[in-house]
Amino acid sequence: MKKIKLSVIFSLILLFMVTTGNAADNTQITYNVSFPEAQAHYADIEMKITGLKQDELELKMPVWTPGSYLVREFARNIEGLSASANGKSLSAKKIRKNIWQLHIAGIGTVVIKYRVYAFEISVRTSFIDASHAFLSSPDMFLYPGNMLHSASTIHIKPYKAWDKVSTSLEKVNGDVFTRYSPNYDILFDSPIEIGNQEIFNFDAYGVHYEVCMQGGGNYDKERLKKDLAKVVAEEVAIYGENPNKHYTFIIHNALKGGGGLEHLSSTTLGASRDAYTTERGYQNFLSLAAHEHFHLWNVKRLRPIALGPFDYDNENYTTNLWIAEGFTAYYQDIIVRRTQLYSPENYLGMLAEDINLLENSEGAKVQTLAESSYDAWIKAYRPNENSGNSTISYYTKGSIVALLLDLEIINDSKGQYSLDDVMRYMYNEYYKTKQRGYTDAEFKAGLEKFAGKNLDDFYAKYINGLTPVDYAYYLGLAGYKLTNELADNNDPALGITTIPNIPRLIVATVTRGSAAWKDGINVNDEIIAIDGEPALEAGKLLSGKKVGDKIKVTIARDGILMDIPVTLLKSTKVKYKVDELPNPTAQQLVVRKKWLTLK
């Protein structure tokens, strides 16, 4: 007893020392970021640290960016690092791939200069050219080791005529080009867009929103302001509050865009410049915006315990990305349905597409949802030609699992509760009250609280197991069923895809269990002819053939022509649609009304 008490007191004293140590810490960090060669994709950074009292200083760069689960080795883009103190050069020794060490005994102020090459267009990597700079942040700013708690000030010197900055970092003295970060977790979660972007604003529930449009596009500002505000309102309604005072949408419009990355008080989205005017394009954009904005709660604040505080040097493993990403993927469409911008039929069509993705996946028979999450670092983010056969996306299956749980909870509570209540409860319990992430068992307990039943069996089947989803039961709860539109299809299939948009037919993937798989057609084979007839179009390779036919596929493999005998098998592809069950019961209608927000 005594021992325990003493150790508790000792740790309290230690905590006090560390805390007051930080508070009394006079260290100040400033970054001067300039772009003298923006056209060649470089940022020049000068980092100044004053008030140092230690003997050694380690400068580090994160190896990954939170939200994107891949070690990207950002330090590989740094060049010309030099350090100095009082105008004299200081040795900066590289001691690991992402760490430089400086001996600074007796030195209070250090200046570090380096250049960063940034030419990877994505929402999670920095990109600089003559037209703009997108600073993703973890791949741009070195930080002093053991000083992640430190505040910093960032001065931006724009290139030529750049006159705008969009970021969720606060301005200093009202200067758009000077920004303040309270600590590195916030800096690394705050991308910065600099250039001549179009900016417009709207307010929703006391939060000021800035929309930054880079790259042009055929968007309608007024329509976007109205619709984004509706999406925001529906998401705030789930959690009961918006923890931000302001929020920034950074949108990169390109010829073909997609994807997004969530942050605490902002997001970066990739959009297709000319797709805002098509129904499908606009819907994709709204769902993407709803997805990333939903993350400001789910994963940025309500989070798996492994995802914060982050280890910026290594992989951060969690089996819960199906909650962080899959649930968010489920909400991205159901939220927009709630705004009435999607009709119920519209929504059910999107749901059918998600179901088809899962049900046409061979990998879903091999990898569990928990495994898919844990191995994101080496599988989801490092796909190869066999990924479709060996992995299942935690987005795809996670969103279907969210659907099943939502329907189960609504049904069990006779329309009183839904998955929303679980999300709000978990947010209050873990983010606000306990101020930490949840464990696997804690999230399960939260689900069970509202499902009114033990979910051991559900987890064994769908999270940790490979049991096919029982759509008849779950969709049946809301009076719906699946119909396979290809049920009577007897067409044969080879089970390959070919590389798109090239004149030759080169095999890109071979589906597990298909005719091509069984008889040995390989990825990278060029299909030359079928039964002696030249192969011209991927979609017409098997014209006139039947299931069971034995055909001769002529291929070129590594420059050598060969004939491969193949016995054609029936296509296993499914194409489901969601249909109403006849004569739904009162209970089914209660579930349907709540689930689809019907009037």
Q: Which is nearer to Zn ion, 75 or 299 (CB)?
A: 299
Under 8 Å between Cβ of 402 and 463: no
- Cis omega (within 30 of 0) on the bond before 36? no
Strands (E), 62-109: 78-85, 88-90, 92-96, 99-103
Kindly give, in sequence order, each residue whose CB lies less than 8 Å from that of residue 513, ignoring residues fewer than 6 positions away. Answer: 362, 495, 572
- Closest separation between CB of residue 271 and Zn ion, Å? 15
Backbone angle region of 106, left / alpha / beta, with phi > 0 → left and psi within -120 to 50 → alpha? left
Q: How far is it, in rounded angstroms, from Cα 54 to Cα 37? A: 35
- Closest separation between CB of residue 26 and Zn ion, Å? 39
Q: Which segments of 169-325 does DSSP mark as H helices, in order? A: 184-187, 221-239, 279-294, 321
Question: How many CB atoms sit inside 10 A of residue 115's CB?
Answer: 16
- Closest separation between CB of residue 226 and Zn ion, Å? 24
Q: Which is nearer to Zn ion, 283 or 413 (CB)?
A: 283
Give the CA count within 13 Å in the CB-facing half-sphere of 269: 23
- Closest separation between CB of residue 67 and Zn ion, Å? 7
- Closest separation between CB of residue 125 and Zn ion, Å? 17
Q: Which is nearer to Zn ion, 27 or 267 (CB)?
A: 267
- Closest separation between CB of residue 269 and Zn ion, Å? 11
Q: How far is it, in rounded angstroms, from Cα 141 to Cα 144? A: 10
Backbone φ and ψ for 475, nearest 5 degrees, come out as: -70, -30
Residue with tokens 């296993």: 572
The angle that helices 221-239 and 279-294 make with each other, rounded to 10 degrees, is 40
Q: Which is nearer to Zn ion, 394 or 450 (CB)?
A: 394
Contact residues toward Zn ion (CB under 5 A) are: 325, 328
Q: Which is nearer to Zn ion, 189 or 325 (CB)?
A: 325
Q: Which is nearer to Zn ion, 114 or 394 (CB)?
A: 394
- Closest separation between CB of residue 454 and Zn ion, Å? 29
- Closest separation between CB of residue 176 and Zn ion, Å? 29
Q: Which segments of 485-566 does DSSP mark as H helices, in order? A: 515-519
Q: Of 525, 519, 297, which Cα lies nearest the Cα of 423? A: 297
- Closest separation between CB of residue 295 and Zn ion, Å? 6
Q: How far is it, in rounded angstroms, from Cα 38 to Cα 598? A: 52
Q: Pairing between strand 132-135 and 192-195?
A: antiparallel
What three-state secondary structure class fits 220?
Answer: coil
H/E element holding 481? strand 480-484
Cα–Cα–Cα angle for 292, 282, 230, nearest 5°?
Answer: 60
Q: Tell me how far CA of residue 505 lies from CA of 469, 527, 538, 555, 556, in angstroms.
A: 35, 5, 7, 10, 10
Q: Which is nearer to Zn ion, 325 or 333 (CB)?
A: 325
Q: How far is it, in rounded angstroms, from Cα 195 to Cα 422? A: 41
- Closest separation between CB of residue 475 and Zn ion, Å? 25
- Closest separation between CB of residue 325 and Zn ion, Å? 5
H/E element holding 443? helix 440-451
Under 8 Å between Cβ of 298 and 328: yes
Q: Which is nearer to Zn ion, 400 or 578 (CB)?
A: 400
Beta bridge partner(s), residue 304: 438
Q: Which is nearer to Zn ion, 325 or 375 (CB)?
A: 325
Q: Which is nearer to Zn ion, 162 or 374 (CB)?
A: 374
Q: Which is nearer to Zn ion, 325 or 519 (CB)?
A: 325
- Closest separation between CB of residue 329 and Zn ion, Å? 7
Q: Which is nearer to Zn ion, 212 or 261 (CB)?
A: 261
Under 8 Å between Cβ of 141 and 97: no
Q: Which is nearer to Zn ion, 253 or 393 (CB)?
A: 393
Query: 324: which DSSP letter?
Result: I
Q: Which is nearer to Zn ion, 126 or 267 (CB)?
A: 267
Under 8 Å between Cβ of 154 and 191: no
Under 8 Å between Cβ of 216 and 273: yes
- Closest separation between CB of residue 291 and Zn ion, Å? 5
Under 8 Å between Cβ of 227 and 339: yes
Q: Which residue type is seen at 278?
A: T
- Closest separation between CB of residue 281 and Zn ion, Å? 20
Beta bridge partner(s), residue 248: 210, 266
